[in-house]
Amino acid sequence: TTTAHAVLNGLQYYHHDWAHAAAFVTVPPLRLDPNTPNYLLSLLGNDTLNVVTSDHRPFTTKQKAMGKDDFTKIPHGVPGVQDRMSVIWERGVVCFS
């Protein structure tokens, strides 16, 4: 899984601010079920899931705006390599301790 999938859900896509929503476009898409991140973290905790990647593909708001009129043209990707370990530690170890 990716860091984004382990801590976020697809409700970000319905934010009233287009730029906010576009910032979370990634492939595969974030899941709408708000329970998905906790489920993925539980799989990490019981060794069913063993790898967390960053899928580090950051784009600026200007770059994401290429898809302003056509969702399919939004570059997909989110930043994540720098924060991956601290986010997983906080959400996966500290919160479940």
What's the confidence (pLDDT) of residue 96?
64
Q: pLDDT digits over 4-57, tens only?
A: 999 999 999 999 999 999 999 999 999 999 999 999 999 998 989 999 888 889
Torsions phi, psi for 3 (to 5 deg): -55, -45
Q: Which domain holds residue 8?
A: 3-94
Q: What is the domain count for the chain? A: 1
CB 2 within 8 A of CB 53: yes
Q: For the residues 76-80, what does the mean pLDDT come to?
A: 89
pTM of the model: 0.83
